[in-house]
Structure 1
Amino acid sequence: MKGTVAALMVCVFGITTGEFVLAGILPAVAGDLEVSIPAAGLLVTAYALGMIVGGPLLTAITAGRPRKRLIVVLLLVAVGGNVVSALAPGYGVLFAARVVTALVTATFFATAIVIATTGAPPGKQASTVARLVFGMNLAMILGAPLGTWIGDSAGWRATFGAIAACCVVGLLLVVGLVPADQPGTSGRALGEFAVFRDRNLILAIVTTAVANLGLLMVFTYLAPLLTGPGGFAASAVAPMLLVYGVGATIGTLVGGRLADRALLPSQLGALTLLVVVLLALWVSPTALTTGLLVLVAGAVGSSIIPGLQTRVLSTATAAPTLAIAVNASAYQLAAAGAGWLGGRVIAGPGLPAVYVAAALTTLLGIGFTILALRRDRAVAPSRV
């Protein structure tokens, strides 16, 4: 079991580094391919849209495939997409390669979670999910900076080459360590979507989007928040992003263990604490307290992610892979909405009010969590 999770974690690290690293090499890509920065930025948008729209559709289409074989094929596509990105002769080819790579990302992540949790000991599903999310955290705090450094040293094409190599390593580990094929679901592609008739599943997915919206809003505008009301110099932004990432990594692992013990109560407690932390950031008197609160915000905010994924799994036993893929799309929609909503707040009440808006949206997540708790208690009081 540990070997399976480790192999999948390497794959998650490689694939999600490919998502995060583009921001660091964007100017180099634009300059080399002779396109504008906004045009190069569309590569990021296209990747997100590929995950939002393509992930659920591809997952439904491939639902009946044996899971190990499926992730091997998905990894081969990811390797190919990054190789083509490294060799792309022009913007159009690079754009197409990023879209194709994005299409398999959500399906891979969803299938990996189902494989890992299926083999997990009883009561350890959330902490198992946390280990996979840890691979994503590493992509944020280690993979993206390392990929940017490779791009600065050897060119942006070398960055995609290195990501492809990492995915190859993950592929070999999957072949050697992941056990024999687990069967996929037996229903047809369109039949998979019938799982969304379950109101508890819909509530779980909506909670994922709403509960993450506030923190994603703060993270999107963290640089101006730090250099503006936070009182930090511009040179401190990169180290503070690392501080946030360290907090997120710790929070993910701790949150997984807490969710194993009491899923919805731990989620409710973390969201409540997150509201307090966000409001504390709003009134933080010094750069030192702001820095400490950024660490805590990363930890508390990320601690809910394993539980949110596990809640979706527990309410979608008929089509767990598709449900996780749609849940990933909900997270991506929250990220897109965070940028838009934060921009409106900045244009209106001003930059510091982003913290208040984030706290208010997190309160909505608390409301949905309380609703889920009440629904569970109404059905089986002894299990909550």
Structure 2
Amino acid sequence: MSPTTDDRPRKLPFVVLALSAGTFLMGTTEFVIAGLLPEIADDLNVSLSQAGLLITAFAAGMIAGAPVMAVATLHLPRRSTLILALVVFALGHLVAALSSSFALVLAARVVTALATGTFWSVGAVVATTAAGPAATSRALGMLLGGATVATVAGVPLGAWLGQLSGWRGPFWVLAALSAGAAAVIGRFIPADERREAPSVRAEFTALRDVRVWLTLSAMTLLMGGVLATYTYISPLLTERAGISAGAVPMVLTGYGLGALVGTTVGGRLGDRRPLATLITAAATTALVLLLLTLFSPSPVAAVVLVTLMGTTGFAASPALGALALRFAGSAPTLVSGVSGAAPNVGIAIGSWTAGVALTSPLGQAGPPLVGTVAAALTLIPLTALALMRATRSETPPPQLRAAADQSIGCGTKAIG
């Protein structure tokens, strides 16, 4: 393919940037709660373990809510659905900020998770449609980048604000920012231009494609492996690598920056050679986690490998999301919702398994070993996709087909 025939846009549409701002807010609310648990437990008169249910409830809401809400809002215009999700997101934070009841705060977290799942499942479709078929991975990389920036900047800022103003302060700020994001999306997101009426039956039919499930399996395994390791990274750094507790946030910042680089680079490479990008990312992630298992007693090695874990682990995410939407054809919304739930399933299973490994004779080396196995297993569904020559046979959605004829053909030749 000649370089002159590469019609990928130099810049992604502003729509994608606006949606990534929404994923930043939602990534912040998902993870900031961990830094506020002691204050919440004291204020609401519950134990620390009970307060931890606020994290579990959000994950459960994402797992169940993303696909359910994708179907429930299918017949609503996509712009209206995004605005509604942000309004509900804002109201959930207001209820939590005003409440003195732990049960009500817990319920608000579930509602907030439902809004987050809705925003992601619809936002991913809107972003990739606006970007065009030749920039699908780049668009998803930008959306994932918003959530990644949340771990680097949003979560620390939220925890800092919580120290200054109490745990309710970040909730007030997130409510205000999400209301502002709803106004921006209402102004700049174009009206829905779907040529065909959405069909619930078609959405479920898309899930019958084995390629979709192979892609979702890869998502679950890879993110489950990386986040299983990340969940217990603090004891590994302090007890095994001998790094001081005060330096751990700096190491985690390196991980977050690595993840941001990974989503950016993976998004660009994923549009050109998706399967090659995915297999390389999974293999290098397994290698990095194995090296972390073996060499984490060295502080320097631990810091470098944790940063690389973020880079390689998240490099696959944009291409995985793009492949799932591509295999869904003209019914991408439910697949997008399930794609949002799949990593959370992996995180839930992986973190539980890593916790068991942590209490075994393996100790702090247990979680990265669990991550190594999960990342290595990711190569099974990815290899199956490669053997099926999956990307040669996909049919782009009708609204993208005209623009895709040349770029998809060139891209699949590069993959093969």
Short-chain TM bin: over 0.9
Change (3 A) 1:378 1:208: closer
Whether the 8 Å contact between 1:61 and 1:189 is mirrored in structure 2 is: no
**From 310, 331, 338, the counterpart of 1:326:** 338
**Cross-structure match for 1:131:** 142
Measure, in 1, the Cα distance between the counterparts of 2:133 and 2:55: 38
Measure, in 2, the Cα distance between the counterparts of 1:113 and 1:160: 25
Measure, in 2, the Cα distance between the counterparts of 1:165 and 1:215: 32
Give the CA deviation at 1:76.
0.9
Whether the 8 Å contact between 2:202 and 2:331 is mirrored in structure 1 is: no
Whether the 8 Å contact between 1:60 and 1:189 is mirrored in structure 2 is: yes
Measure, in 2, the Cα distance between the counterparts of 1:318 and 1:242: 39
Q: What letter is aligned with 1:179? A: P
Which shifted more, 70-79 or 180-189?
A: 180-189
Measure, in 1, the Cα distance between the counterparts of 2:182 and 2:142: 18
Give the CA deviation at 1:43.
1.2
- What SS does the aligned partner of 1:65 have? coil
Whether the 8 Å contact between 1:192 and 1:322 is mirrored in structure 2 is: yes
Whether the 8 Å contact between 2:67 and 2:338 is mirrored in structure 1 is: yes
Residues 91-130 of structure 1: per-residue CA shift (max 9 Å, x gap):
1221111111111111111111110110113411101111
Give the CA deviation at 1:355.
2.4
2:168 equivalent to 1:168: no
**From 211, 215, 233, the counterpart of 1:222:** 233
Q: Which runs of 5+ in 1 are unaligned?
A: none
Change (3 A) 1:58 1:259: same
| Count of equivalent residues | 384
Whether the 8 Å contact between 2:203 and 2:335 is mirrored in structure 1 is: no
Pairwise mapping of residues 5-44 of structure 1 onto structure 2 (< 5 A)?
5-44=16-55
Q: What letter is aligned with 2:132? A: P
2:114 equivalent to 1:103: yes
**From 364, 375, 387, the counterpart of 1:362:** 375
Measure, in 1, the Cα distance between the counterparts of 2:226 and 2:271: 23
2:207 equivalent to 1:196: yes
Residues 146-185 of structure 1: per-residue CA shift (max 9 Å, x gap):
1111111011111100011111221121112111224397
The CA RMSD over aligned residues, in Å, is 1.8
Whether the 8 Å contact between 1:64 and 1:184 is mirrored in structure 2 is: no
- What SS does the aligned partner of 1:123 have? helix
Q: What letter is aligned with 2:330? A: A
Whether the 8 Å contact between 1:220 and 1:338 is mirrored in structure 2 is: no
Measure, in 1, the Cα distance between the counterparts of 2:228 and 2:103: 31
Change (3 A) 1:184 1:44: farther
Whether the 8 Å contact between 2:203 and 2:332 is mirrored in structure 1 is: no
2:297 equivalent to 1:288: no
Give the CA deviation at 1:137.
0.6
**Cross-structure match for 2:329:** 317
Q: What letter is aligned with 2:344? A: Q
- What SS does the aligned partner of 1:219 have? helix
- What is the TM-score when the length of structure 1 is the normalising length? 0.95
Pairwise mapping of residues 264-303 of structure 1 onto structure 2 (< 5 A)?
264-284=275-295, 286-303=298-315
Whether the 8 Å contact between 2:324 and 2:339 is mirrored in structure 1 is: yes
Change (3 A) 1:47 1:190: farther
**Cross-structure match for 1:71:** 82
Residues 51-109 of structure 1: per-residue CA shift (max 9 Å, x gap):
11122111111112211111111111111111111111311221111111111111111
